[in-house]
Amino acid sequence: MTDVLKTSLNRRTVLQAATVGAVGVSPALRALVHAQGSDAPEKKEVKIGFIPLTDCASVVMASVLGFDKKYGVTIIPTKEASWAGVRDKLVNGELDFAHVLYGLVYGVHLGTAGPKKDMAVLMNLNHNGQAITLSKALADKGAVDGPSSRR
């Protein structure tokens, strides 16, 4: 029986089960988790591609402020020239993660603009919530919202 459990449970499966809630994890399963190995990350370094826009700040600042060190990982931010370049590097495995346009991941997953590759969205900070912004000069003239900008 233990041979079946050892081959059917891997670290990822156990972590997925643990996200449901530690309360529901049996002591036997906890013992297997400990026996499977450590909580060390699968990779020590992760390359995260980004386009130098203001919304890449979370990737850049996580690296600059050392948030990655807390988890035993080193973020290697890589500045990319275009969204197509980011897409290609994700597909080829040159990047582990990326700051991308919302629909890009789904396009890669469906194979709409190149090779089809399984992708996952692990974190979403912006779901097409962009804004139209005005210059300070227009704001000083009273254009601070839709109706006032018609004048």
Between helices 27-36 and 11-20, what is the axis angle to 10°? 140
Range of the domain at 101: 43-151
Asked if residue 14 has pLDDT above 60, the reply is no
DSSP result, the chain? -HHHHHHH--HHHHHHHHHH-GGG--HHHHHHHHHH-----S-SEEEEEE-SSGGGHHHHHHHHTTGGGGGT-EEEEEE-S-HHHHHHHHHHTS-SEE---TTHHHHHHHTSSSS---------S-SS-------HHHHHTT--STGGGG-
Residues 120 and 79 in one domain: yes
- β-partners of residue 97 are 48
Residues 60 and 8 in one domain: no
Place 5 in a pLDDT band, splitting at 50, 70 and 90: very low
Measure the CA dihedral 47/53/58/63, to 10°. Answer: 50
Residues 144 and 102 in one domain: yes
Predicted model pTM: 0.58
Residues 11 and 63 in one domain: no
Residues 22 and 88 in one domain: no
What pLDDT does residue 10 have?
61
Residues 85 and 149 in one domain: yes
CATH code for the domain in which residue 141 is found: 3.40.190.10
Residues 76 and 25 in one domain: no
**Number of domains into which the chain is organized:** 2
Residues 21 and 74 in one domain: no
Asked if residue 113 has pLDDT above 50, the reply is yes
Residues 63 and 10 in one domain: no
Residues 134 and 66 in one domain: yes
Q: Look over the chain and give the mean of its residue pLDDT values, rounded to a whole number.
A: 77
Per-residue pLDDT tens over the stretch 21-56:
444 555 555 555 444 566 777 888 999 999 998 878
Could you tell me if 97 and 43 are in contact, meaning their C-beta atoms sit under 8 angstroms apart?
no
Residues 17 and 65 in one domain: no
Residues 110 and 135 in one domain: yes
